[in-house]
């Protein structure tokens, strides 16, 4: 109930209404001590027979203290984590996965670091190429913690350091490349080179960071010059197309000429082999004829003469008959006789052939008779 100043009893501070001064400070402290003593089983110094025993309360307090101490001393490190032990703020050792017991705080403190979590940073900015062109490059770098102690103590802010190292490395590589190389076929190689350079710089800094991958998005020119750049790309593609067409035509002509040259070379080689074979055959034939000639010169000479005349006369359609005396020749125009042959001639061919033959026989008889008369007159 609210205090009524008209009440004659004491006020909340234990003063009479007539006493207008503040409450005694010593009395307030004394009352607070008595209250705490009742809570924890103590008193103001005198123990009454009805007070409760202090044993259970002390037991509960001891159990709570042991649990709290165990919580502060026992650490469990997960498989993906590493524990870094700090004793009064100084590095002591590292803990591998599993349960560990260390001194409680504030003597020692264990910092858990996840060494398998993949972290990603992106970098996007305009850069100057080696041929003095501006290109926009976007890069995504993934990394993880390789060494927990280096990651915590060697550099102030590892994540910021990785970002700055990435920008520095990619600017170095882009500054040594041409715009055409960056935009076309050089993207994969630039990403590979950037990954190696970033890792080298981070190892020099002893950052404890391992770069797992570097992905480079397609580079593009600034928006202000995009139209002109597209025209340049189109012209470059037309140039490459013309070059490809010219190379295709060149290859066709060269291959055709090479085939023709190969054919001529093979024909020449075949002709050479043929001439050589013929020459070798003629030489072998001559050797064989010489052996036979050595055995029978007269017979071999006549045989060679006959074969030569046969070879020459076999190529003509004229027939020449010689008599024994050699004083006259008889010519038979067989080619003319063949040409005169026809449908009508074939019907009466037998009669005419018979008459022609008889005429020839008569001429032959007259010639022979004249030769006989001449020979007899001579004798």
Give me the CATH code for the 119-221 domain, please.
3.30.479.30
pLDDT at position 294 is 85
> 329 pairs with which residues across the strands?
322
pLDDT per residue as tens, the chain (379 positions)? 444 555 545 555 555 554 454 555 566 556 665 655 555 455 444 444 444 555 677 777 777 766 676 666 777 888 888 888 888 878 888 888 877 777 777 778 888 888 888 999 988 888 888 888 888 888 899 999 988 888 888 888 888 999 999 999 999 999 888 887 888 788 889 999 999 999 999 999 988 899 999 998 888 777 777 777 778 778 888 998 999 999 999 999 999 999 999 999 999 999 999 999 999 998 998 888 888 888 888 888 888 888 888 888 777 766 666 666 655 555 556 666 666 665 444 555 445 444 554 454 454 444 444 444 444 444 4
pLDDT at position 221 is 78
- Alpha carbons 212 and 202: distance in angstroms, whole number: 13
Asked, as a colleague might, if the bond just before 168 is cis with ω within 30 of 0, I would say no
> 134 pairs with which residues across the strands?
128
CA 315 to mean position of chain CA atoms:
72
Where do the structural domains in the chain lie, given as residue ranges? 69-114, 119-221, 225-314
pLDDT at position 207 is 87
Q: Give this prediction's pTM.
A: 0.47
3-class secondary structure, 232:
helix
pLDDT at position 4 is 52
Q: Which residues of 140-163 are buried (b: 16+ CB within 10 A; e: fewer)?
A: bbebbbbbbbbbbeebeebeebbe
Find, among 179, 170, 187, 158, the residue nearest to 124 by Cα: 170
pLDDT at position 97 is 82
Return the H-helix or E-strand segment holding 150.
helix 148-153
In the structure encoding, which two tokens stand for residue 207, read together?
A: 């950052």
pLDDT at position 324 is 65
pLDDT at position 286 is 86
CB 190 within 8 A of CB 173: yes
pLDDT at position 46 is 46
């Amino acid at each position: 109930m609210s205090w009524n100043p008209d009440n004659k009893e004491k006020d909340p501070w234990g003063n009479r209404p007539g006493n207008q001064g503040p409450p005694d400070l010593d009395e307030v402290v004394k009352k607070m001590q008595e209250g705490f003593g009742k809570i924890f089983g103590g008193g103001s110094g005198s123990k009454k027979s009805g007070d409760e025993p202090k044993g259970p309360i002390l037991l509960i307090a001891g159990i709570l203290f042991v649990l709290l101490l165990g919580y502060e001393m026992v650490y469990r490190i997960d498989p993906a984590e590493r524990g870094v032990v700090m004793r009064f703020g100084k590095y002591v050792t590292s803990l591998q996965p599993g349960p560990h017991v260390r001194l409680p705080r504030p003597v020692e403190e264990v910092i858990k670091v996840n060494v398998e979590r993949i972290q990603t940073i992106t970098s996007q900015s305009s850069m100057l190429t080696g041929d003095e062109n501006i290109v926009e490059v976007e890069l995504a770098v993934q990394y993880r913690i390789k060494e927990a102690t280096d990651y915590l103590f060697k550099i102030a802010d590892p994540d910021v350091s990785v970002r700055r190292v990435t920008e520095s490395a990619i600017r170095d590589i882009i500054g040594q490349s041409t715009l055409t190389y960056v935009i076309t076929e050089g993207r994969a190689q630039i990403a590979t080179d950037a990954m190696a350079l970033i890792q080298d710089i981070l190892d020099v800094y002893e950052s404890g960071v391992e770069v797992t991958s570097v992905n480079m998005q397609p580079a593009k020119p600034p928006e202000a010059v995009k139209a002109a750049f597209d025209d340049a790309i189109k012209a470059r593609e037309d140039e490459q197309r013309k070059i490809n067409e010219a190379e295709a035509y060149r290859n066709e002509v060269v291959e055709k000429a090479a085939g023709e040259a190969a054919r001529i070379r093979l024909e020449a080689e075949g002709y050479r082999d043929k001439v050589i074979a013929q020459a070798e055959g003629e030489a072998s034939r001559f050797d064989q004829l010489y052996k036979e000639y050595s055995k029978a010169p007269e017979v071999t000479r006549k045989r060679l003469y006959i074969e030569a005349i046969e070879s020459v006369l076999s190529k003509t359609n004229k027939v020449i008959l010689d008599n024994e005396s050699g004083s006259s020749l008889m010519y038979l125009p067989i080619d003319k006789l063949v040409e005169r042959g026809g449908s009508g001639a074939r019907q009466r061919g037998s009669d005419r052939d018979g008459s022609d033959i008889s005429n020839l026989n008569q001429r032959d008889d007259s010639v022979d008779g004249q030769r006989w008369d001449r020979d007899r007159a001579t004798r």
